[in-house]
Structure 1
Amino acid sequence: MKKPFKTTLAAFAASFLFSSSALAAGQVNIFSWSGTFAPEALKKFEAETGIKPTIDAYDSNETLLAKLKQGGSGYDVISPTHEFLPILISEGLITPFNPAGEAYYDNLVDNLKKPAWDPDGLYSMPYYWGTTSFGFDTAVYNETVDSYSTLFNPPKALQGKINMFDSPSEIMSLASLYLGLPFCAEDSKQAQQILNLLKAQKPFVKTYSSKAGSIRENLIAGELSMSTVWGGSFLRARESRASLKYVYPKEGVLAWVEGLAIPKDSRNPENAKKLIAFLSQPENSAMTQAFLKHQSPIKGTDPYLDPALQGAPELYIPDDAKLVFSQTCGEAAIRLADRVWTNLMR
């Protein structure tokens, strides 16, 4: 009786392991910023591959980092901002999958191929990207604006109806561009220059907020006449208030990239690669672009976009615009930025 029992038990174990692996083969677990995957695209992916995507959301790159450092996250695809990628690589938290060696990498726009934060194209495939600048209401102030001077030294018509992000890193980066200073300043004199600029502007600022939804709503309602903003978010606002205008300052435009990477402890790395390859096809990337209204990193999306989005100034960066990608700051620069911000908020 023992032998048949052992055989039955072994068969049961094999069956269990097979069903578990089959289940694993049919899923891909995503950890990303909230609301960044187009439902239409995920449905199409599942229909074509039989792989079911599930999504959990995080609210900051720091939250993502902490989760991965805990280990055993169970996630297969993550979407870190480009400036955090070197941290994830140095901590050994993501695995190389060599997107640069895949055919879909040829679809990538030239300025994002093998960038400084992933020079060999081993760890991340750009998912969407965009710019951070400011916009204003031409119904309130209808003059030519091509400089951060309008933001930091606002004309009377815009004073008192301005919003600035409540993020030290982004505001200090914009101020550094205007003042011609390097990012991630560790020089107290340079930090003082930025603080002086922001203090002089502060009496004209109505709110400090990085909540994209609130910024859009207040711009549409006319409660704000100018705000720091992300390009895609501003496009959504302009769709409801045509007098809004996005600015590409001559001093430079802050740029960022959200990528797709695979955690070191992924249980379904092959499914992760399939999802990344799927999202990197022009037709599928266009779904993401239409959903988020940010730039696609993939060439050839135009034929798949709604005509209303084709030519949108927030999506089509002028050829003469100077793009400056945000950087990963060291601890000394972060501490100095925090001191600047604390002083400003007093």
Structure 2
Amino acid sequence: MTRHNRVGRHTAKLLMASAMTLAAWSGVARAEGELHLYNWSNYFAPELLERFEQETGTKVTVDNYASEDDLLAKLQAGGGGYDVIFPGATTLGVMVEKGLLAKIEVSQMENFKNLLPAFTTIAGDENREYSAPYMWGTTGFTYDPAMVPGGKLEESWKELFEPRDELKGKIAMLNEVSDVWNAAAYYTGIDKCTEDPAEAQQILDLLMAQKPDVRLYSNDGTIDRMVAGEVAAHMQWNGAAHRVKEKKPDAVYVYPKEGTSFWTDVIAVPKDAPNLEAAKTFVNWMMSPEIAAIASNYTGYSNAVSGSGEFLREDLKADPAVNTPEDYNDRLRAFKACSPASKDLREKVWTKLKS
């Protein structure tokens, strides 16, 4: 998941407020030492690294992973010395089940009161014992009108799964099993939590038929790839689509009519985090309105913190890729916790596709 953006024009306003932050937030404790974050690339504002260090005395460093499979493997191998991680809802549930996370009682933290009601619980961590919300958004696709026949594509996954001849070899997919599987399930009308091998085979058949037409599967470089015109259409997260439009204003983000995944990334702490107390301070800090706004302004995604709106960039509020039009609400499909049997089918399909 490539997350690249610049902090918006409200940055100066936020920085001027920095001097007052310590007095205003009693929840930010002094926590000297080092804090090691493990996150997607370009998915955390550098400004926040400096600000947390200034306000707490804790030095923050960030390492990046390329997929949630990499993140899960790292934790299963011992955690790699990381204090804070940023998994998606699917991986969060797996981590809770496997006992890989510290129970940090997020619902008891001071700034938990700032969360929007819809984000006070999440599948797999219903009581918010292990995680706080980070960014949320959707998974659709973006296209460049100048590179497609007639300048317009249908609002359907068909444009990627059964591309017209002019687009073959000029489309790209994400390299994330859940996103690709879910989109294929929506398009075929199959329950994304199916346990039926025959239905899984239908999804595999669709993906294998599409594979020769896909230029590449990648989570990294999706923005640069679209801006450079390397592909005409790209499966993307909506924040990446917003950043494409900053460089290519005519680019169109599509909410496919068959279904568009609605996802939430979270902030969590590995069970063997070297600096547990600093990690808990950090999680609470990230639920503050001004801090959440800085994160959104950088990533281009929405956050779950009430009161952050006054600090958001106007272009984020105006972009339908970020601020989903009401007419598309019925296309949004929330995360579902699938059974082990369903997950096993999904992994088998993905392995065959990528082999």
| TM-score bracket relative to the smaller structure | 0.7 to 0.9
The number of equivalent residue pairs is: 322
Q: Which amino acid aligns with 2:194?
A: A
The offset of 1:202, in angstroms, is 4.3
The amino acid across from 2:159 in the alignment is T
Q: Which residue of 1 aligns with 2:67?
A: 60
In the alignment, residue 182 of structure 1 is paired with which amino acid?
Answer: D
Higher mean displacement: 231-240 or 178-187: 178-187
- 1:208 correspondence with 2:216: yes
Measured after TM superposition, the shift of residue 165 of structure 1 is 2.9
- Distance in 2 of aligned mates of 1:338 and 1:265: 28
Sort the Cα spacing of 1:87 and 1:223 in 2 relative to 1 into closer, same or farther, 3 A: closer
**1:171 pairs with 2:177:** no
Q: Are positions 1:271 and 2:278 aligned together?
A: yes
1:62 corresponds to which letter in structure 2? D
Superposition TM-score, scaled by structure 1 size:
0.82
Instruction: Deviation per CA, 1:76-128: give whole Å up to 9, x if none.
Output: 22222221222222222222222223342232233322122211111100111
Task: Note if contact 1:25-1:268 (Cα within 8 Å) is conserved in structure 2.
Answer: no
Deviates more, 1:336-345 or 1:73-82: 336-345
Matches within 5 A, 1:238-253: 238-253=245-260
- 3-state SS in 2 of match to 1:291: helix
Kept in 1: contact 2:31–2:56 (CA 8 A): no
The answer for unaligned runs of 5 or more in structure 1 is 1-22
What is the alpha-carbon root mean square deviation over aligned residues? Answer: 2.7
Aligned counterpart in structure 2 of residue 182 of structure 1, from 168, 184, 191: 191
Structure 2 distance, partners of 1:132, 1:51, is 35
Residue 153 in structure 1 maps to residue 162 in structure 2: yes
Distance 2:110 2:319 in 1: 29
Cα pair 2:32 2:57 within 8 Å, conserved: no
Q: Take 1:92 and 1:211, find their aligned partners in 2: how far apart are those partners?
A: 27
Q: Distance in 2 between matches of 1:233 and 1:93?
A: 29
In 2 relative to 1, CA 313–261 (structure 1 residues): closer, same or farther, beyond 3 Å?
Answer: same
Contact 1:133 1:253 in 2 (8 A): yes
Q: CA deviation at 1:331?
A: 5.4
Task: Name the residue aligned to 1:15.
Answer: none
Helix, strand or coil at the partner of 2:35: strand
Question: Residues of 2 paired with 1:338 and 1:68: CA distance?
Answer: 19
* Residues 73 and 265 in structure 1, CA contact (< 8 A), matched pair in contact too: no
1:117 alignment counterpart = 124
**Equivalent residue number for residue 36 of structure 1:** 43
- Give the Cα–Cα distance (whole angstroms) in 2 for the partners of residues 341 and 71 of structure 1: 25
User: Structure 1 residues 190, 211: closer, same or farther in 2, change over 3 A?
Assistant: same
Classify 1:104/1:345 alpha carbon distance in 2 versus 1 (closer, same or farther; 3 Å).
closer
Residue aligned with 1:151, SS: helix
The structure-2 alpha-carbon separation of the partners of 1:244 and 1:76, relative to structure 1 and needing over 3 Å to count, comes to same
**Which of 212, 230, 235 is residue 228 of structure 1 equivalent to?**
235
Can you give the 5+ residue segments of structure 2 that lack an aligned partner in the other structure?
1-29
Partner of 2:143: 136
Identity in percent = 37
The alpha carbon displacement at 1:175 in A equals 0.8
Q: Measure the CA separation in 1 of the matches of 2:104 and 2:219.
A: 34
Measure the CA separation in 2 of the matches of 1:79 and 1:289.
15
Q: Compared with structure 1, are the counterparts of its residues 24 and 168 closer, same or farther at alpha carbon in structure 2 (3 Å cutoff)?
A: closer
CA contact 1:216–1:233 (8 Å) conserved in 2:
yes
* Correspondence for 1:293 among 294, 297, 300: 300
The residue aligned with 1:336 is: 345
Paired residues of 2:123 and 2:336 also in contact (CA < 8 A): no
Q: Give the AA of the match of 1:245.
A: V
| Change in CA separation of 1:67 and 1:226 when aligned onto 2, cut-off 3 Å | closer
Q: Which moved more, 1:63-72 or 1:259-268?
A: 63-72
Instruction: Give runs of aligned pairs for residues 51-130 of structure 1, distance below 5 A.
Output: 51-71=58-78, 73-130=80-137
- TM-score, normalisation: structure 2: 0.80
Shifted more, 102-111 versus 274-283: the winner is: 102-111
Quick check: 1:134–1:228 contact (8 Å CA) kept in 2?
Answer: yes
Which whole-Å CA distance do the structure 2 matches of 1:59 and 1:36 have between them?
12
Query: Are residue 162 (structure 1) and residue 162 (structure 2) matched?
Result: no
CA–CA distance in structure 2, aligned partners of residues 272 and 209 of structure 1: 33
Contact persistence 1:24–1:268 (CA under 8 A): no
Partner Cα distance (1:241, 1:65) in 2: 35
Summarize the Cα distance change of 1:162–1:70 in structure 2 as closer, same or farther, 3 Å threshold. Answer: closer
Distance across 2 between alignment mates of 1:279 and 1:93: 21
Q: Which amino acid aligns with 2:154?
A: V
